[in-house]
Amino acid sequence: MPYMIIRHAVEDFDAWKAKYVAHQPARQQAALHEMLLLRDVDDPNEITLVFKAGDLEAARSFAESADLRERMQQAGVVGEPQFWLMDEA
């Protein structure tokens, strides 16, 4: 099964988390199933998310969507988010 990993910084974790939770229907529509939500131990505003990707093309479209970019900006994502699509070896 493929995975999507997203890493980015946020201005304020609690504000970001509320908007992240509200965007769950879009992730479900893209067949993304959250496995881990991680925070850097030295900087809790550095976030890494790990999802199982049930549909690789839907995950890719989600990552490239204008909607996601807009939602990230509204949620206080700082800088350019990083996306990886990976598979188990």
The residue ranges of every structural domain in the chain are 2-87
**Tens-place pLDDT, residues 11-60:** 999 999 999 999 999 999 999 999 999 999 999 999 999 999 999 999 99
**Tens-place pLDDT, residues 56-85:** 999 999 999 999 999 999 999 999 999 999
67 burial class (0-12, 13-18, 19+ CB within 10 angstroms)? exposed
Fold (topology level) of 2-87: Alpha-Beta Plaits (3.30.70)
Smallest Cα–Cα separation from 62: which of 20, 21, 4, 7? 4
Smallest Cα–Cα separation from 50: which of 2, 17, 3? 3
Model confidence band, residue 1 (pLDDT cutoffs 50, 70, 90)? confident
